[in-house]
Amino acid sequence: MAAARRHRKDPPLCHCGVHATLVVPPRGGSPSGRPKYSPFFRCSINMMDGWPVCQFNEYVQGPWSVWPSDEEVGAYEAGQAPWPCTKYPEKRCKCGILAERGVVPSELGYGWYCDNGNAFWEGRTCDWEWFSGHDELVARFRRLGQRDKERETRELRDKIRNKYDVTLPDDELLFGTILDEYIKENRCRPPILEAHDTLIKYWRLNRILYPRPLFKDERAEKQRKLEEERHLERQVQDRAREAQLEAVRALVGDLPCNMTIRKGALERSSDGFVGMREAQREAVRALGSILRKEKDKGKSTGLHVTFAPVEPAVNKGKGVVVISSDEDDGWGDDEVLSGCESD
């Protein structure tokens, strides 16, 4: 009896670290209908469904299972040791499920938030979140104006993101799939000035539905690979362009610059002068095609092509022969052939 009175006066601590609650049999009614059991202590913290958080049970006359000694209490009060409790319950949100630890969906702190995902439930049961200083922050925001509240909220979010290296989805995913799902669920678009923060919060509440975003190192590695691929692609394009220009230069360099056509070899002109003209036309077409492609790309290769007139080389002291023919040879009525010897 002495132990029971001592327990009633100073209840033991449950596994949560708080004083336990004494449960006694109900009174009233017929003695045969009342439940009979010895009073016992149980956890004093109840979940939303009424069940205790931890499974601590101890009879009123039982031993002090987790009672701290006087020395432990003295060390705790002096700040020399933590509170002598070896087991703490896992955090639960208001809907009764286990809470998740991390950056809360509002991105205003690091603490606990509801871990109810749409992949396991029809809808989110609650948007509960808690972190150190939550109540003080809410009270402060109530006293501030709208502009000051938005400014401090933005600064605090940036601070939390930088401190904990918060991984955020890319803009392509954020303003693509996530925006479509947000519009489908809410039947409206988010405000323009708050669209980014609104979509980030929506992604946090439903991030189990989307792929994991990349960390800072992973984003840097991905950007480095993209830059390498673009550099290699530019090198291949430059080499292909140089090869085309070299081929055109070689083609133009192989063309004959001076040709001598005698009067008796007029029928062979198709193999000489006519062939030269056709080759020149092909070279000009190739150069024009390359320049048009470069112009379409919006790039400048620094290549300047100048077509200078080539004057015929005439031997001094020798005449210029004008060949006339009644037959139409496709070169006009008269042809001036330079460099021909006078017979």
For the stretch 194-198, contacts whose Cβ atoms lie closer than 8 Å and that sit 24 or more positions apart, written own/partner, are 197/154, 197/157
Give the Cα separation of 329 and 266 in Å (integer): 10
* Per-residue burial over 38-60, b = 16 or more CB atoms within 10 Å of its CB, e = otherwise: eebbbbbeebeeeebbbebebeb
Other Cβ atoms closer than 10 A to 218:
12
pLDDT of residue 110: 92
Give the Cα separation of 211 and 199 in Å (integer): 15
**Helix H or strand E encompassing 71:** helix 70-77
User: Within 13 Å and on the Cβ side, how many CA atoms surround 176?
Assistant: 6
For residue 227, give the amino acid letter.
E
Give the Cα separation of 234 and 312 in Å (integer): 43
Give the Cα separation of 135 and 152 in Å (integer): 16
**Helix H or strand E encompassing 58:** strand 57-59
Tell me if 318 sits within 8 A of 341, measured CB to CB: yes
pLDDT of residue 201: 78
Return the closest-CA partner of residue 90 out of 127, 53, 59: 53
This prediction has a pTM of 0.39
pLDDT of residue 8: 74
Strand segments (E) across the chain = 21-23, 40-42, 57-59, 99-103, 110-114, 129-131, 321-324, 334-337
Tokens of residue 87, six digits: 């087991």
Strand order in the sheet with 129-131: 99-103, 110-114, 129-131
Return the closest-CA partner of residue 106 out of 160, 174, 163, 173: 160
Tell me if 104 sits within 8 A of 131, measured CB to CB: yes
Query: pLDDT below 70 — which residues of the chain?
Result: 1-4, 7, 26-38, 49, 61-69, 83-90, 95-97, 115-126, 212-216, 218, 252-284, 286-343
